[in-house]
Chain A
């Protein structure tokens, strides 16, 4: 019965709350310490996997460490560079389009000649069953960009067919593919505008 009396005291309740908070915080801090390195490693592996998807071929540098940050109209762009013997062979960066329900984040790889090596959508909230055909699991549409550049198709044909371009839209969803086409085109324009920095040629071969 002693415990019951004690439990009713304000001081006991305050210290109970305090010690519960302290114990749980300690448990979380400890768990964070243990899992931290593993989470970081898993996330890096994830990032690397998503980058290499749009980067066929092999490169001899540490892709994740060879980055450069450039400014574009949409803010800062983080670019990963893939090299062979110090020469930049391809670059990878993210582009964002605005679809039917918010941002569609894509990652795209571009060769030093300015050709698209690959595009993947990494984050979107488009309508399931209609707009999600931009995912490679659902349709082959996203592979349609491979090998394209600003001369093939010509710049004014970089649009969905409904807008007079060459890229297919989906039945019932035009806004989504339109947004992705626009984002990829913007990515290529960004490449042309920043070629020297991207290919690291301003200061000669390192």
Chain B
């Protein structure tokens, strides 16, 4: 049982990461990651929606006819996003002013429909909830990584304006990496997003291959002994 949860966690965070392995959700990814803070905000909001949509889809999975499942999922996801949008606007207005633009973008995040379709509709509620959470965290990780790279290279800071998103207590996150940085505009604009994403993807591939090779050599050595 624990092994299964471990596998779901590993899949969500790394092996089957929404961005780095499934290559989904690239549109919101490239749109919001001009800073690490924006990435974090979008990641957390997406995680909340992903968790809720996985739970709901999984709990009604026996009732849904396969023929009409896609419209049902879409309506459910759009409703959830709108609910999140409205409640943030009403009760966390400062946060909404920072994230407002991105919240609606979550509807077009194909990762959420993807998880509903390929995981939540076939698994129990507990598994689906964990999967939603871990996929969301993996997505957040990718957003923060890409946002961080673009922000450091583009404007020489990291987590700028974090206090707007997380409250004044998190102002310590705001660091200036390169003082007196003149800025490298390309990284903040969309083409820089594509480039940074490409390099991050390549880095993950190299890392995974090295790790697999090392595991193979270790296994071979164990057999030889």
List chain A positions with a Cβ less than 8 A from chain B: 3, 7-8, 12-13, 16-17, 20-21, 24, 27-28, 31-32, 34-36, 38-39, 42, 45-46, 127-130
Contact = CB atoms under 8 A, between A and B. Distances in A.
B4 interface: no
Nearest to A9: B65
A104 B176 CA distance: 29
Given A35-B90, A128-B189, A129-B185, 18 more contacts: A7-B64, A7-B66, A8-B65, A16-B72, A17-B68, A17-B71, A24-B75, A24-B78, A27-B83, A28-B82, A28-B83, A31-B82, A34-B90, A42-B89, A42-B93, A45-B93, A127-B189, A130-B185
Given A17-B68, A24-B76, A32 B188 contact: no
Interface residues of B: mostly helix, strand, loop or mixed? helix
A31 B71 CA distance: 22
Contacts of B65: 7-8, 12-13, 16
A117 B139 CA distance: 46
Interface of B: 34, 62-68, 71-72, 75-76, 78-79, 82-83, 86-87, 89-91, 93, 97, 154-155, 183, 185, 188-189
A42 B90 contact: yes
A58 to B, nearest CB: 25
A46 B93 contact: yes
Given A13-B67, A16-B65, A20-B75, A39 B86 contact: yes
Nearest to B63: A16
Nearest to B91: A38
18 contacts: A3-B62, A7-B64, A7-B66, A16-B64, A16-B68, A20-B72, A24-B78, A24-B79, A35-B86, A35-B87, A35-B91, A36-B90, A45-B93, A46-B93, A127-B185, A128-B34, A129-B154, A129-B188
B72 A38 contact: no
A35 B89 contact: yes
A127 B72 CA distance: 40
B79 A32 contact: no
Contacts, number: 68
Contact of A128 (B62, B86, B97, B185): B185
A42 B68 CA distance: 39
B183 A27 contact: no
B90 A39 contact: yes
Contacts of A128: 34, 185, 188-189
A146 B78 CA distance: 45
A111 B187 CA distance: 43
A31 B86 CA distance: 7
- Greatest chain A CB density within 10 A among B34, B62, B75 is at B75
A29 to B, nearest CB: 11
Contacts of B75: 20-21, 24
B90 A38 contact: yes
A13 B87 CA distance: 31
Residue of A36, A128, A130 with most partner-chain B CB within 10 A: A128
Contacts of A130: 185
A21 B71 CA distance: 10
Given A16-B65, A39-B89, A31 B185 contact: no
A3 B62 CA distance: 8
B183 A129 contact: yes
Contacts of B63: 3, 7, 16
A39 B87 CA distance: 9
A28 B83 CA distance: 7
A89 B86 CA distance: 37
Contacts of A3: 62-63
A136 B87 CA distance: 29
A41 B71 CA distance: 35
A128 B155 CA distance: 10
B148 to A, nearest CB: 16
Nearest to A3: B62
Contacts of B87: 31, 35
Contacts of B83: 27-28, 31
